[in-house]
């Protein structure tokens, strides 16, 4: 054989194609055995790519040789704490550039914003069924305030305001059905004005002696009511204000 590895490889492949076993070929060039062995095994597979056509004895021999090579490999030691720390340090140093810092900061900011938006959307959706006294009720009112603030034009604002006022009246009915006490507020027309019982938007309101009246409400006026709904279904007014 020639001293050139390429020549030895060519001769070895030719010998392999002639049917000479791999181990005999490697014995002819022991100094190149480690380099030739994987190449000759690859050439063996390429020469006969269909494994079903390979004899079982031959496959067993190849498997045994492969497993022996795996067994001869040096054992891999798990990395020590210092090695892990050095690896982390190298990663940090590679990222600790102005461009890398800005990129990481932008990613964190976008992630936080998206997370907050998704959380607010989910909470706002869950708060739609809340009534006064519920944990999410303040979020429901805040969401309505934002919608009013973003309304385009007086017509849209008025429509939203009426829609939200109907919610307030529906919430009072829910509280009555659930026999719950809560602070409530709503708007409506003063339909009947008695000495200490008024009817506003279909709701009977009890006026205590310390009730605050703003604007001298008269029958037919639209008023805003703030009060306390008791568990005995009595709605006690705290403030009644005329809406101009």
Distance CA 48, CA 54 (A): 7
Closest Cα partner for 151 from 139, 163, 140? 163
Pairwise CA distance, residues 148 & 140, whole Å: 13
Q: How far apart are CA 104 and CA 208, in angstroms?
A: 61
Sign of the alpha-carbon dihedral angle for 195, 200, 205, 208:
negative
Residue segments in the chain with a per-residue pLDDT below the cut of 70: 1-3, 45-58, 70, 73-76, 95
> Each residue of 223-237: pLDDT tens digit?
999 999 998 889 999
> What pLDDT score does 54 carry?
56
CB 188 within 8 A of CB 225: yes
> Which pLDDT score is estimated for 233?
86
User: According to the model, what pLDDT value does residue 9 have?
Assistant: 80
Determine the pLDDT at residue 186: 96
At 47 the pLDDT is: 64
Evaluate the CA torsion angle 13, 18, 24, 28 in order and state its sign.
negative
For residue 149 the two structure tokens come to 């603030």
């Amino acid at each position: 054989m020639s001293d050139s590895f390429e020549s030895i490889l060519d001769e070895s492949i030719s010998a392999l194609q002639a049917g000479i076993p791999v181990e005999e070929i490697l014995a002819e060039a022991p100094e190149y055995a480690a380099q030739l062995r994987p190449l000759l095994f690859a050439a063996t597979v390429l020469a006969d790519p269909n494994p079903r056509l390979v004899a079982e004895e031959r496959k067993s021999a190849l498997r045994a040789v492969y497993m022996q090579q795996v067994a001869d490999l040096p054992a891999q030691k798990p990395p020590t704490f210092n090695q892990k720390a050095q690896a982390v340090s190298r990663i940090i140093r590679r990222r600790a550039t102005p461009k890398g810092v800005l990129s990481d900061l932008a990613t964190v900011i976008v992630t936080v914003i998206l997370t907050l938006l998704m959380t607010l959307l989910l909470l706002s959706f869950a708060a739609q069924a809340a009534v006064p006294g519920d944990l999410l009720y303040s979020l429901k009112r805040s969401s309505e305030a934002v919608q009013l603030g973003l309304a385009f034009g007086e017509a849209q604002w008025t429509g939203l305001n009426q829609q939200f006022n109907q919610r307030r009246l529906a919430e009072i009915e829910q509280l009555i059905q659930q026999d719950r006490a809560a602070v409530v507020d709503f708007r409506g027309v003063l339909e009947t004005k008695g000495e200490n019982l008024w009817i506003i938007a279909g709701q009977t309101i009890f006026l205590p002696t310390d009730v605050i009246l703003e604007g001298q409400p008269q029958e037919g006026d639209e008023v805003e009511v703030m009060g306390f709904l008791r568990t005995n279904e009595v709605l006690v007014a705290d403030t009644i204000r005329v809406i101009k």
